[in-house]
Amino acid sequence: MKNSPNNPKEVAGRQAARLVKDNMVIGLGTGSTTAYAIKEMGRLVAEGLHILGVPTSYQSAFLATENGIPLTTLDEHPVLDIDIDGADQVANFVAIKGGGAAHTREKIVAMSAKKFVVVADESKMSNALSHVVPLEVIPFARKLVEKEVAQLGGKTEVRMGISKDGPVISDNGNFILDADFGEIHDPASLDVAISQCTGIVEHGIFMNLDVVYIGKKDGTVEIFEKS
């Protein structure tokens, strides 16, 4: 399907937004690609579509409100119809997320959805995962986590703020450590191993992708569905 303009993030985000149907409860991801999906959903709401959104960050909450999408919570709607979110890298229906430090809420929302749809531009597609894995870490546990992750073969760096001195603080009040594991040959095992580290709230490996929308420079969108 041809789209215009030819911004790969925009075509992926806007096309995925069309999966949203009347009366659905939607997970609203974080990042610049999902922002296009949120804006498109806002346009559909203005045309009469009835949906509720659960935001994964302050960013998506602000954007949804600006675009007229009513918000709800997981307390009120623990099961979501669909979640649309971006990714930093995708390989074989596994994503690394957390470039915006929002992966903890993003994972909670993704795991609460019947269908998890990732939207990304073609630069994010890869044959193997090698992107740094963001870790949300309780500040008190930073040194312990550095040691635990080193034992798993990862090299950590505390993510520092831009336009803020010192470390990035997540929406949940925690540090973000970016862990470099080189090429990740077995993401499922790494997922389990990182999850067992004391002091890590959540990590950015997402194993539960159902559909991937990849926007391309020529304005087309390639859709991959897990069988």
Strand, coil or helix: 132:
coil
Comparison of 85 and 148: residue with beta carbon closer to ligand 5RP: 85
Compute the least distance from the CB of residue 96 to ligand 5RP, in Å: 8
Comparison of 14 and 97: residue with beta carbon closer to ligand 5RP: 97
Residue 227 neighbours by CB under 8 Å, 6+ apart: none
Based on the shown chain and the rule CB under 6 A, indicate whether residue 156 belongs to the binding site for ligand 5RP.
Answer: no
What gap in Å lies between CA 88 and CA 38, rounded to an integer? 18
Of 104-143, which residues contact ligand 5RP (CB under 6 A)?
106
Compute the least distance from the CB of residue 50 to ligand 5RP, in Å: 26
Based on the shown chain and the rule CB under 6 A, indicate whether residue 33 belongs to the binding site for ligand 5RP.
Answer: yes
Q: What are the residue ranges of helices labelled H in 95-217?
A: 103-111, 142-151, 187-195
What gap in Å lies between CA 3 and CA 210, rounded to an integer? 23
Of 58-87, which residues contact ligand 5RP (CB under 6 A)?
85-87
Q: Left, alpha or beta for 38 (phi > 0: left; psi -120 to 50: alpha)? A: alpha
**Any idea which residues carry the catalytic annotation?**
106
Based on the shown chain and the rule CB under 6 A, indicate whether residue 8 belongs to the binding site for ligand 5RP.
Answer: no
Which tokens hold the place of 197?
Answer: 């580290």
Interface region with ligand 5RP, contact rule CB under 6 A, candidates 71-79, 94-102, 158-166, 210-218: 94-102
Comparison of 46 and 160: residue with beta carbon closer to ligand 5RP: 160
Query: How many alpha carbons fall within 13 Å on the CB side of residue 201?
Result: 24
State which amino acid sits at residue 145.
Answer: V
State which amino acid sits at residue 170.
Answer: S
Based on the shown chain and the rule CB under 6 A, indicate whether residue 30 belongs to the binding site for ligand 5RP.
Answer: yes
Kindly list the residues in this chain that would bind ligand 5RP in the complex (CB under 6 A). Answer: 29-34, 85-88, 97-103, 106
